[in-house]
Amino acid sequence: MSDKIVVITGSSRGIGAATARLFASHGYVVCINYLSNAKAAQSVASEIEASGAACFLVQADVAQEDDVLRLFETVDEQPGKLSVLVNNAGILLPQSRLSGINAERLNKLLTTNVTSCFLCSREAVRRMSTKQGGQGGSIVNVSSIAATLGAPNEYTDYAATKGAMDTFTRGLALEVAAEGVRVNAVRPGIIETTIHADGGEPGRPQRLAPLIPMQRSGEPEEVAEAIYWLASEKSSYVTGTFIDITGGR
């Protein structure tokens, strides 16, 4: 049994699920975190277990501090040590211009996409930092190229939360660089996941594909490969860095 544990928030679908499967294939014990879709999370767990790898499920709303504490306390109960955190949990809401964005919507996005990243990273650093008795580790944040493009007329609020995640990535990377903890991020572009349906346009990848230099949308597995590389020792001299996975957009 591996002694390396990876926590992947929001790993019951899409990029998170692909990342969970990839880490499992490399011998990690995978903590599959999910908010409400227990069936989807169990499906991912069943795939991992069928491959002979180990995983465990933790339901937690990572935007809520008590849930985050419970999540990491559950990790502490497992054999092995936390080695990697992937801050993948995030949402977007139906497409809207600024005129349709109210405080309730904005605050929901901020707590889900940004607060969760801060809280989970705090708990991971407490366990990984060599300054606090840990053995080092890696944090990978799943941002979005929307942070640089702004997502006008559709998701400026979502884009702003991802911009906050980028700033946090850089700041935390410098804060803990001498403590054995590396912090990096991926910025996916248009990826074939169900998050587009959450925004009200399931076919958005197909609509935007002609605007992408590679003339196609990406797959969750392509993002997972970049996440894994950033978390692995193959990127041991990389911190505070972003990988854009956009097909050239």
CA distances (Å), origin 157, targets 35, 48, 113, 137, 201: 21, 35, 11, 31, 17
- Please, which residues have CB within 8 angstroms of residue 243's CB and are 6 or more apart in sequence? 184, 185, 186, 187, 226, 230
Q: Which of 25, 36, 28 is nearest to 8 (CA)?
A: 28
- Please, which residues have CB within 8 angstroms of residue 10's CB and are 6 or more apart in sequence? 16, 33, 34, 35, 62, 88, 89, 90
Distance CA 89, CA 141 (A): 9
Catalytic residues: 158
First and final C-alpha spacing in the chain? 41
- Confirm if 23 and 227 have CB atoms less than 8 A apart: no
Torsion sign (Cα): 221, 145, 214, 243: negative
